Amino acid sequence: MRIAIGSDHAGFKIRTALSKWSRTQGHEIHEFGAQSEEPYDYPDAADEVAHALLAGRDDQGILVCGTGVGMSIR
C-alpha cells in the first residue's frame, strides 16, 4: 500500500518512527511536512497529503501534529 504521512514540527519524531515501522511492514511511504523539529505549520502538511491522495499517488493518508486537534479539523 502507498501511504502518505504528514506532520508538523511537533509530530516530526512520531511521523519518522511511524514511517520507518510502516516500511518494515512492506508499505511504500511518502513523507510530507516538517523535515526537522523546526517550526512548520500543520495545515501545509495536511494540504500536501490531501493533494497526494487526490492525485492518486497514495492510497491512504496519515496526519500527525502536536495535539491531534489541528489535523482532525483541517
Among all chains, which residue has been given the C-alpha cell 506532520? 7
The C-alpha angle 70, 21, 25, rounded to 5 degrees, equals: 120
Q: Which of 46, 63, 65, 71 is catalytic?
A: 65
Return d(Cα 62, Cα 6) in angstroms, integer: 6
Q: Is 51 a catalytic residue?
A: no
Distance CA 19, CA 29 (A): 6
Catalytically annotated residues: 65
